């Protein structure tokens, strides 16, 4: 008997979904290298709480740990600027502007909004810009300049309980950093068992222009900055 699968529904992709689909087809042509690191975020979360109190006392701006990671990523990129790049016609094009693309999920669509020159922004400015971009995305008011010229993408899926993952590169960028959930587990510190907070970062890079050593050094620097945030955020 010839049985057919019942179809529940069929719908046309949105313009954004079509754009993402086209980019993902392009991404299949990129030889991607994946690396993962587990990072102690205990000090970072303490710093976040202090920054939050300080900024909220002066203005109504909510600081999240995503804001801190945007700043940390931008600082690390300035030191490993070769990752802030693209491959084009046999050339490795390195950008001087560090424009962090933040993945935003709205109504089952995925947008990447741009925080321009994030390495030069104060943490309060990053938070305000993030809030502005998310609000624009929710109200379908993002302009072309809000979504173009990003040089690397951060995607935070920790709020969905995903601990560790890798993301597909967003062409024409050379790298994307996936952030997992914050979780606690026992750790040995000074010969004592204590509870610490951790996140896992998944790095995907275009292996044509970013080799494993460079990617590892970048992740190592990001890890150091996360675990020693007092070197960045003056509290």
Domains by residue range for the chain, with CATH:
27-231 (3.30.559.10)
pLDDT at 159: 87
pLDDT at 56: 63
Label the pairing between strands 175-179 and 32-40.
unpaired
Q: Give Cα separations from 174 to 83, 113, 115 (angstroms).
A: 6, 17, 17
Token duo for residue 58: 């002066």
pLDDT at 116: 98
Single pTM value for the model:
0.89
Encode 76-105: b = buried (16+ Cβ within 10 Å), e = exposed: bbeebeebbbbbeeeeeeebeebbbbbbbe
Q: Low-confidence residues of the chain, pLDDT below 50?
A: 1
Label the pairing between strands 175-179 and 152-156.
parallel
Q: How far apart are CA 162 and CA 175, in angstroms?
A: 20
pLDDT at 234: 67
Q: Is residue 172 reached through a cis peptide bond, with omega within 30 degrees of 0 on the bond before it?
A: yes
pLDDT at 83: 98
pLDDT at 26: 62
Q: Are 230 and 47 in contact (CB under 8 A)?
A: yes
Q: How far apart are CA 210 and CA 185, in angstroms?
A: 33
């Amino acid at each position: 008997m010839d049985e057919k699968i019942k179809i529940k529904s069929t719908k046309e992709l949105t313009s954004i979904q079509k754009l993402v689909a086209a980019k993902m087809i392009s991404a299949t042509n990129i030889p991607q290298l994946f690396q993962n690191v587990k990072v102690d975020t205990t000090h970072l979360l303490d710093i976040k709480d202090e920054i939050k109190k300080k900024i909220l006392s002066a203005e109504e701006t909510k600081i999240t740990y995503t804001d801190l990671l945007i700043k940390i990523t931008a600082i690390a990129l300035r030191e490993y600027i070769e990752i802030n790049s693209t491959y084009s016609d046999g050339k490795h094009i390195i950008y001087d502007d560090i424009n962090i693309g933040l993945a935003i999920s709205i109504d089952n669509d995925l947008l990447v909004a741009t925080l321009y020159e994030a390495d030069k922004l104060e943490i309060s400015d990053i938070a305000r810009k993030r809030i502005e971009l998310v609000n624009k995305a929710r109200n379908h008011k993002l302009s072309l300049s809000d979504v173009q010229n990003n040089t690397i993408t951060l995607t935070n899926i920790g709020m969905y309980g995903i601990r560790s993952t890798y993301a597909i590169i967003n062409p024409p960028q050379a790298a994307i950093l996936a952030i997992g959930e914050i979780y606690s587990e026992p750790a040995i510190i000074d010969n004592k068992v204590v509870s610490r907070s951790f996140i896992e970062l998944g790095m995907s890079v275009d292996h044509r222009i970013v080799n494993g050593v460079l990617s590892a050094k970048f992740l190592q620097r990001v890890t150091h900055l996360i675990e020693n945030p007092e070197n960045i955020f003056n509290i």
